[in-house]
Structure 1
Amino acid sequence: MLPFTRCRCLKHIARECLSGVQVRAGKHARLCLPRALGLAEFGKSWHSTHTLLGNKNIVLMGPPGAGKTTVGRILGQKLGCCVIDVDDDILEKTWNMSVSEKLRDVGSEQFLEEEGKAVLGLSACGSVISLTGSNPMHDASMRHLKKNGIVVYLDVPLLDIIGRLKRMKVDRIVGQRPGAPMKDLLQMRRQYYKKWYDARVFCESGASPEEVANKVLSAVQRYQDVDSETFISTRHVDPRDGERKVPAKFFSEAVVEGLASDGGLFVPEKGLPAVSCGEWKSLVGASYVERAQILLERCIHPADIPAARLGEMIEAAYGENFACSKIAPVRHLSGNQFILELFHGPTGSFKDLSLQLLPHLFAHCIPPSCNYMILVATSGDTGSAVLNGFSRLSKNDQQRIGVVTFFPENGVSDFQKAQIVGSQRENGWAAGVQADFDFCQTAIKSMFNDSDFTGFLTAEYGTTLSSANSINWGRLLPQVVYHASAYLDLVSQGFITFGSPVDVCIPTGNFGNMLAAVYAKMMGLPIRKFICASNQNHVLTDFIKTGHYDLRERKLAPTFSPSIDILKSSNLERHLHLMANKDGPLMAKLFRQLENQHHFQIERMLVEKLQQDFVADWCSEAECLAAISSTYDASGYILDPHTAVAKVVADRLQDKTCPVIISSTAHYSKFAPAVMRALKIREINQTSSSQLHLLGSYNALPPPHGALLARTKQQEKMDYQVCAADVDILKSHVEKRIQNQFV
């Protein structure tokens, strides 16, 4: 059984046979066959061709006052094609009366039904169709239009729409009851627009119809060009310099494969898309779900995941399983320091922000007939978050996707271990390893790169391996959203104006959380400095200061902040690749040297480039506990040890000329013994449940975490296997779990 790929052969053969056809091969393969149909009822032919459209129609959708008719006419002039205005060319000719008269005669419900039936009679190709604002409320007619059309949603700010309708002296629209606010109806209609569109165009306040029309053309071109957004390995070889070992991949393939076959990590070949200042501003008042959908749409081609399906996944990921409706709220701590609370998910850590979404992305991207086993190395928080996320899939998807998570048996907190083991489900298992996190991570990479082992699993069990660590692009990408959302929240709360710079301070060991902030800056956010906070395992801090990544004679030290007890920072490779202008051979050389000689040194020019954006420092155990104590005394806010590490480093390095956003990566409940020690609470040798209830009695901020409290009350103790630090033993464990899950 082969891993999923979007089939290029089928696509190219079809293109040779069919002129102007878009083909999507893979999980949801479809052929959009040519049509040459006319609207005979009105004696007019709606048939024209253009190289951009082929036999497709551009279908403009949006609220009344969005400018669909005006933009449609401009597009018709630019493309030299027919323009169909549903109001003027379909409805009024069908009914022999104006739309307003019809609405007055039959009422809203009957109007919607008759409007839909009229559109069902429309046949056209190669044309621009401007819908009415209410067309998307009729399912059958929209399905009819989508068969041969690219539906483009003109997303105009709500206040702009209300202002335009007021100027047009429109005081009532279809479906609006007497006395009901128009704003509420317009807001309600957004759910219908989200259901149908293929591409979204933001119509910024003040944008001219010409500008909007150009955006529509760009959106349609992107939608049609299904090969335009590919991913390469960080160790790729430019075809001009030699034979490329790993061909470019699509988003679907990068998510499913996890790690490139040459040992590198997948990155977008053309980088991340830029978001304009006006578009960022339009997101200031948006919810987290809305921000996520808009930003991720830009980064995921609709041929991989259609916009409507992506929206469903995002809503499922960030729903009632998060304790706070803001998902990742920003709280003012003191002075110009702000806390980004990333722990409101079901397992109480920042990993939930990506691992509630990744399983849905993954399940969508794999073919229905394949089985996959997800392998995960965890330094504490990832394990329970992965097991929780994949357990929320549908029963059908759970039968196709299993999870094995390896954690250092003596390298996580007692609560974290109980949480990981207690998160095991029918399709997910935990295994302790008598080694540190770096061994677990290296062992998994070696399994991926062992073609004999992976080939055996495929041939014997029809099962392919993949990963949900931050080496997986589908895991890393959603983290960009919360960094962007934090900045937008500071704007909406009035602490800064849009365009003002901020610094971010992040406790990190594997560099994924930090890299996501770098990507947010690439997309247009004015992040000034990235402050890298380490604990006693400060290999990253040393590297940023010297350019020398040196693991020789360095042993991992267990700390109060175990989730950053990491020496081999996987995602650093992605950032070095970005800084070195995508020099794949250099990445292969550096990380091969790290593997073999346990160190590497980058050249001075790259060190200087790194230090333009990054500063770094580390925090001792005593300083960590002191920061928890002093912060609680000053503000009544309890930091977890990882956030305390970031607070110490932020205090030391921020220059106070602009705000700093400190990432709070876990709820303090997960590290109750360390917090109680910092707060000098004597009753420290209690059960986890008692410790959490005792901390909750302090009426501190943030409040107790309900899901974590519920976890401590779990009576049933689950069994789990402990493995020796031997890759062959871990391989045997993986095979056994595959037999249990799929055979």
Structure 2
Amino acid sequence: MELFHSTRSTDIQVTAKQAIRQGIADDGGLFVSDSLGERTLDVESLPGKSYQEIALEVLRLLLPDFSDDELRECIEGAYSSFKDEDVTPLKSLGMNYVLELFHGPTSAFKDVALQALPRFMAHTHVKEGEAQSQEELAEGKERVLILTATSGDTGKAALDGFADVDSTGIVVFYPAGQVSEVQRMQMITQSGQNVGVVAVHGNFDDAQSKVKAIFGDAALAADLEENAHTRLSSANSINVGRLVPQVVYYCAAYAQLLFTQEINFGDEVDFLVPTGNFGDILAGYYAKRLGLPVGKLVVASDKNNVLYDFLTTGVYDRNREFFTTISPSMDILISSNLERMLYYFSDGDTELISRLMNDLAETGRYEVPSGVMRKIREVFDCAWADEDQVRAAIRDCWDENGYVIDPHTACAYHALSVTEGTPTAPRVVLSTASPYKFPRAVLSALGVAAPESDFACMDALADLSGVPAPTALRSLEGQLPRFTDEIDVDEMPAYVRTMAAKFAGASGAAA
């Protein structure tokens, strides 16, 4: 059976189900499999298949200890709520293409993975009568508390996916004042008896770093297990179960291009990806390892361009000014999934990865050997856009194509004009969020005076574009917040302990 281990050590091997349930390795590393790419996808058979059928083909390669029946159940449940039958439709954008990833229930690409992850998680529970040991029996009875730091979109998508899931609670931390008003309203009005949302005084990196520290706190873990029969897990893309569903939409995009005869089998395709935490674009690399003919993967950053500087210099340095931009989901200086990419391009050198991550923790920077960087640059290209360039990209896309994009997608659209790509390869921009999640910024970029209310901004944008706002977003107006807590970063562990006890008590009362 294909096993997973930490990016920082091969000492402990776990199954895909165990990796998903645990979320992050005990040593702080991320779970990877050395078997990635040993079994490849039959790409030529994909055209004409539904998204769900393609998902089954991909996920059975990446999650081998899930049965086909389990995967089908997860896939059908995950994508039944998407508004487009293609799930992630591909549309022409002049000479290029846009892959729309925002047709899920929260209007962001995170839905593609976070509608699937809770369903994966449900199949990691050891069922009564199946336990082979006392440890497995205890594991089957314990609750899971999902901890997630969000820069904007992950929070709502995770809340929506895990709301009222049996034996599971979820707590989302978001940076106070650094998400859009629509994103904030989506989170603080979330229904469900097993959910918690709290604003953190600090930026996303502060919250994400503390969440990682909480995962590594052995004393807290023991306390939660003893007093709340609870273990921690993650819904961020550090969880391999969150990462692998994203591989599917690269394959689906290629299948759509083959089906419409825009390309021939074997032709390479470039993908331009807005990314902050590196999970979205890493999924494209996984697709390439599975045999998808991927040309260049272009990392598109906003003004927080730490990834651009890394890919051009080989030095990752988070010791820099942090900018709050109109693309808040990319306002990140510590890109967690870069660790997985470095593992694969260093040929599984766990000692190197441990040293680099230790350097990052102690000094805020690390330098990657030139030979590793040379291999990385053969696959990845990069670009970044400042605030004026983001606004110009939104305006240019509308003027040239009559198509409205959000500020994150605009970073990738800008990259079209400043990167060369693979000669003759079609270029696909990944559109990661509905423009209605950021209506004020989009209207301003289009030169339209923005009304005072973000909901009035939605109406104005709908009038301009002729495309109605998603009902789930427009209906947020007037809803009363359920969650108003604000805490300092150092208070996060105590908050987790309190929420674990609350969820355990509610679960016990329900039982």
Q: TM-score, normalised by structure 2?
A: 0.94
1:608 matched residue in structure 2: 374
1:299 matched residue in structure 2: 62
Q: Which of 620, 633, 657 does residue 386 from structure 2 map onto?
A: 620
- Which runs of structure 1 show a deviation greater than 4 angstroms over 4 or more consecutive aligned residues? none
Report how far residue 657 of structure 1 moved. Answer: 2.4
CA contact (8 A) 1:637 1:700 kept: no
1:716 matched residue in structure 2: 480
Q: Which of 196, 200, 203 does residue 436 from structure 1 map onto?
A: 203
CA contact (8 A) 1:289 1:314 kept: yes
CA distance in 2 between partners of 1:417 and 1:591 (Å): 32
**Cα 1:661/1:561, change in 2 over 3 Å:** same
Q: In terms of mean alpha carbon deviation, does 687-696 or 562-571 score higher?
A: 687-696
CA contact (8 A) 1:424 1:430 kept: no
1:557 matched residue in structure 2: 323
CA contact (8 A) 1:531 1:650 kept: no
1:331 matched residue in structure 2: 91
Report the AA paired with residue 463 of structure 1. T
CA distance in 1 between partners of 2:307 and 2:91 (Å): 27
**Cα 1:392/1:314, change in 2 over 3 Å:** farther
Report the AA paired with residue 307 of structure 1. D
**Cα 1:333/1:425, change in 2 over 3 Å:** same
Residues 50-81 of structure 1 show CA distances to partners (whole Å, capped at 9, x for unaligned) of xxxxxxxxxxxxxxxxxxxxxxxxxxxxxxxx
Matched residue SS, 2:277: coil
CA distance in 1 between partners of 2:478 and 2:170 (Å): 22
Report how far residue 725 of structure 1 moved. Answer: 2.4
The percentage of aligned residue pairs carrying the same residue is 37
Residues 184-214 of structure 1 show CA distances to partners (whole Å, capped at 9, x for unaligned) of xxxxxxxxxxxxxxxxxxxxxxxxxxxxxxx
CA distance in 2 between partners of 1:357 and 1:273 (Å): 24
Q: Which of 315, 322, 325 does residue 76 from structure 2 map onto?
A: 315
CA contact (8 A) 1:531 1:614 kept: yes
Q: Which of 141, 146, 170 does residue 369 from structure 1 map onto?
A: 141
Residues 96-125 of structure 1 show CA distances to partners (whole Å, capped at 9, x for unaligned) of xxxxxxxxxxxxxxxxxxxxxxxxxxxxxx
CA contact (8 A) 1:274 1:523 kept: yes
User: Which protein has greater RCO, CA pairs closer than 8 Å, 6+ apart?
Assistant: 2
1:201 matched residue in structure 2: none
1:739 matched residue in structure 2: 501
* Equivalence map 1:594-673=2 (5 Å): 594-655=360-421, 657-673=424-440
CA contact (8 A) 1:654 1:660 kept: no
CA distance in 2 between partners of 1:360 and 1:720 (Å): 29
Report how far residue 362 of structure 1 moved. Answer: 0.5
CA contact (8 A) 1:255 1:472 kept: yes
Report how far residue 713 of structure 1 moved. Answer: 3.6
CA contact (8 A) 2:164 2:194 kept: no
CA contact (8 A) 1:636 1:700 kept: no
CA distance in 2 between partners of 1:285 and 1:542 (Å): 40
Alpha-carbon RMSD across the aligned residues, in angstroms, is 1.3
Q: Which of 6, 16, 23 does residue 251 from structure 1 map onto?
A: 16
1:218 matched residue in structure 2: none
Residues 225-276 of structure 1 show CA distances to partners (whole Å, capped at 9, x for unaligned) of xxx2100110015xxxxxx3xx100111100110000110000132244335
Report how far residue 424 of structure 1 moved. Answer: 4.3
1:236 matched residue in structure 2: 9
CA distance in 1 between partners of 2:57 and 2:270 (Å): 24
2:29 matched residue in structure 1: 264
Q: Which of 273, 279, 293 does residue 512 from structure 1 map onto?
A: 279
Report the AA paired with residue 413 of structure 1. S
Q: Is 2:287 the counterpart of 1:287? A: no
CA distance in 2 between partners of 1:610 and 1:275 (Å): 21
**Cα 1:721/1:261, change in 2 over 3 Å:** same
Matched residue SS, 2:481: coil
2:152 matched residue in structure 1: 380
CA contact (8 A) 1:507 1:645 kept: yes
1:274 matched residue in structure 2: 39
CA distance in 1 between partners of 2:378 and 2:478 (Å): 49
Q: Which of 86, 104, 118 does residue 345 from structure 1 map onto?
A: 104
CA distance in 1 between partners of 2:438 and 2:14 (Å): 40
CA distance in 2 between partners of 1:358 and 1:272 (Å): 22
Residues 126-179 of structure 1 show CA distances to partners (whole Å, capped at 9, x for unaligned) of xxxxxxxxxxxxxxxxxxxxxxxxxxxxxxxxxxxxxxxxxxxxxxxxxxxxxx
Q: In terms of mean alpha carbon deviation, does 531-540 or 267-276 score higher?
A: 267-276
Residues 440-475 of structure 1 show CA distances to partners (whole Å, capped at 9, x for unaligned) of 111011011110111111111111111110000000
CA distance in 2 between partners of 1:466 and 1:424 (Å): 21
| Equivalent pairs, count | 491
1:360 matched residue in structure 2: 119
2:133 matched residue in structure 1: none
Report how far residue 693 of structure 1 moved. Answer: 1.6
Q: Is 2:456 the counterpart of 1:694? A: no
1:97 matched residue in structure 2: none
Report the AA paired with residue 350 of structure 1. F
Report the AA paired with residue 310 of structure 1. L
Residues 613-643 of structure 1 show CA distances to partners (whole Å, capped at 9, x for unaligned) of 1111110100110111111111110010000
Report the AA paired with residue 449 of structure 1. G
1:475 matched residue in structure 2: 242
Q: Which of 240, 249, 252 does residue 485 from structure 1 map onto?
A: 252
1:183 matched residue in structure 2: none
CA distance in 1 between partners of 2:362 and 2:115 (Å): 36
Report the AA paired with residue 362 of structure 1. M
Matched residue SS, 2:342: helix
CA distance in 2 between partners of 1:700 and 1:637 (Å): 10
**Cα 1:669/1:652, change in 2 over 3 Å:** same
Report how far residue 714 of structure 1 moved. Answer: 4.8
Report the AA paired with residue 585 of structure 1. E
* Equivalence map 1:446-461=2 (5 Å): 446-461=213-228
**Structure 2 unmatched runs, 5+:** 127-139, 506-511
CA contact (8 A) 1:273 1:298 kept: no
* Equivalence map 1:111-190=2 (5 Å): none
* Equivalence map 1:40-59=2 (5 Å): none
CA contact (8 A) 2:173 2:199 kept: yes
Q: Is 2:443 the counterpart of 1:676? A: yes
Matched residue SS, 2:489: coil
Report the AA paired with residue 314 of structure 1. I
